[in-house]
Structure 1
Amino acid sequence: MATADLLVLVFNVTVYHVFSYHFAHSFLSYTAMCTLFNYLNSISLCMSVWFTVLFTFDRFVVICWEKFKVIYCRVRTAAVVITAATVLICSENIPLFFAYGPERLIDHVPWGCRTKLSFFMSPAGEAYSWLHSVLVPWLPFALILLFNCLTVRRILVANRSRRAVRGYRSESQSDPKMESRKKSIILLFAVSGSFILLWLTASVSFLSTRITNTAHYRGDYAAPAYLATETGYMLMYLSSFTNTCIYATTQAKFRGELKKVVKSPWNCILLFVRRMGN
């Protein structure tokens, strides 16, 4: 999930919104490269969304599904699930290669990208557009809310049973098991809650502009629909940043791995210097 969020920051923010804007006549402006980066932008966003769903499902399995946890919670299973999700996401976004055409020809070289009205106005293109909007993020919204409700219900029931077995009702007495469950709830709601809140503006804006047919602003950057859409994009990209921050502040193992990544180049340099000295 952290890797997918990093890809969003690299492709969607850095390459698409920074490099493409400030280096308008670089190789990024070729139609082929522009189409490729639009494809990479879409799959990175989809992976960020669906890996968040998979994270929520993982917590649900660990807490609520004891029998299935023995089979599912393995390194090999995680690798298979992540690989399968990535392949499906990459396959689902292949039609985007046919959705863009060149803005102009310079010395017989296609430059820029613009959407093909023939693609999006066709029944297949319109069906794909609506399907994509359901898969990202309305279906993930529903699945995250479902898994969260089931997980919280299971934790509350387990806590009541544990208090009854231990024979006390005082909340002030510490219980390591209950404290662990409480931390799981906090992490679960921090990740999934921030995702839903930060994606909600973009999702509602997309539906409202498609239903009211106000998706084309014709250069009016003060139009409410344009402002709502761009604000939704900004919050949507911010979601990729907050997930990593949440992990960095709440997960000791994640912080440890992050420190290893930061220290590894310096350790290699130090090792090289020592060998040179010997």
Structure 2
Amino acid sequence: MGYPVIFVFESIYYPILAAVGITVNVVAIVILSRGKCGLSKCITRYLVAMAVADVMVVVFEVILKRINNIYLPINILFITPVCAMILVFKHAALNCSVWFTVAFTFDRLVAISSPNLRPRYCTTRTASVVIASTTALACFKNIPNYFAVEPGYIINNIPYLCVATAVYNNSQLWVGIEWFDSILSPLLPILLILLFNALTVKHIIKSNKIRRALMSNVGEGNDSESENRKKSMILLFTLSANFILLWTPYFIYSLNWQVINHNYTDKYYTSPIFINQQTGFMLQLLSSCTNTCIYGLTQRKFRQELKNGVKYLVTVNGKLCK
């Protein structure tokens, strides 16, 4: 009897996701950190933070959990305190990835819509404070996850695996915490991103109407500023659509878990509930490969820096071969 289809797909999907996710985000970090993409230091700081958070998601969730569980036998990562720490860090990394995206979207709203606030808010210092505060809050928020698990079994007095405790499965407090977590990530971020982008687009449309009227009065046909704002609108919609599409299946599943089956324990790979759960996880984790790149790859200077890096590697290899 062969392996279930969902298991086979996961065994192929997660290694590819890990390789692509690490490579793409590390490349983005290197290129953005060089500061030659024509982006402000404030924007660069947010994008680098988003890429670092996505790397952490790939490391803790994809490599140390998913791939480890599929391919490796019992090892140090299965020891209960270790896997409990991985659980905390992977949730913190996911929260950081989500909320860095929200913070970046809000920063762009201020930059485009609030000329008076922009000089004070859109600074590297503010970005650093927001990033550091978000990271600290994400770590603090997920500390309770460490105490929500217990050993699955004990071998030679060493606890292995992380199984939900009886208190977690039956406590209304934990049900409330799960509800709060479902709202905090990703429902609230989705709503905030939609709101911020709607306000930004509204301001851009209003400004473009005024500029077109002024340009028609002076008799000039080309308006580079309007073209740049049009590109910004496309970028914002792309970022929003990517985040919402990839996180919505996970969000729907998380609500279904709370409403219908909080104590769900059926782990059969053929179960529709389990398949929907795993599909939601796979799409959610896919966002770790796309959040930063969507912005970076739409920028001409970023693409040029990427081409220069590839040419440099090829040239170096060529010289070495000679």
String of CA shifts for 1:145-182, please: whole Å, max 9, x gaps: 110110110000000011111116x9x94311011111
Alignment counterpart, residue 126 of structure 1, candidates 134, 155, 175: 175
Contact 1:247–1:254 at 8 Å: present in 2 too? no
Amino acid at match of 2:81: A
RMSD of aligned Cα (Å): 2.7
Contact 2:169–2:262 at 8 Å: present in 1 too? no
Shift of 1:32: 1.0
Amino acid at match of 2:68: F
String of CA shifts for 1:165-211, please: whole Å, max 9, x gaps: 1116x9x9431101111111111111121001110011011112321
Change (3 A) 1:102 1:258: farther
Identity %: 41
Which consecutive residues of structure 2, in runs of 5 or more, have no partner in the other structure?
A: 1-49
String of CA shifts for 1:90-118, please: whole Å, max 9, x gaps: 11111011111111000000011111131
Contact 1:56–1:148 at 8 Å: present in 2 too? yes
Change (3 A) 1:215 1:186: farther
Alignment counterpart, residue 289 of structure 2, candidates 241, 246, 256: 241
Verify: 1:162 aligned to 2:211, yes or no. Answer: yes
Aligned residues: 269
Verify: 1:216 aligned to 2:264, yes or no. Answer: yes
**Larger RCO: 1 or 2 (CA < 8 Å, sep 6+):** 2
String of CA shifts for 1:18-46, please: whole Å, max 9, x gaps: 12332232111111111011111101111
**Paired residue for 1:30?**
79
Q: TM-score of the superposition, structure 2-length normalised?
A: 0.76
**Paired residue for 2:230?**
182
SS at match of 1:197: helix
Verify: 1:146 aligned to 2:195, yes or no. Answer: yes
Moved more, 183-192 or 40-49: 183-192
Alignment counterpart, residue 62 of structure 1, candidates 111, 116, 127: 111
Amino acid at match of 1:221: Y
String of CA shifts for 1:190-234, please: whole Å, max 9, x gaps: 112100111001101111232122662423322222111111111
Supply the distance in 2 between the matched residues of 1:257 and 1:81 (Cα, whole angstroms): 28
SS at match of 1:220: coil
Supply the distance in 2 between the matched residues of 1:85 and 1:68 (Cα, whole angstroms): 21
**Paired residue for 2:278?**
230
Contact 1:102–1:112 at 8 Å: present in 2 too? yes
Amino acid at match of 1:238: L
Which consecutive residues of structure 1, in runs of 5 or more, have no partner in the other structure?
A: 274-278
Shift of 1:265: 9.7
Contact 1:217–1:223 at 8 Å: present in 2 too? no
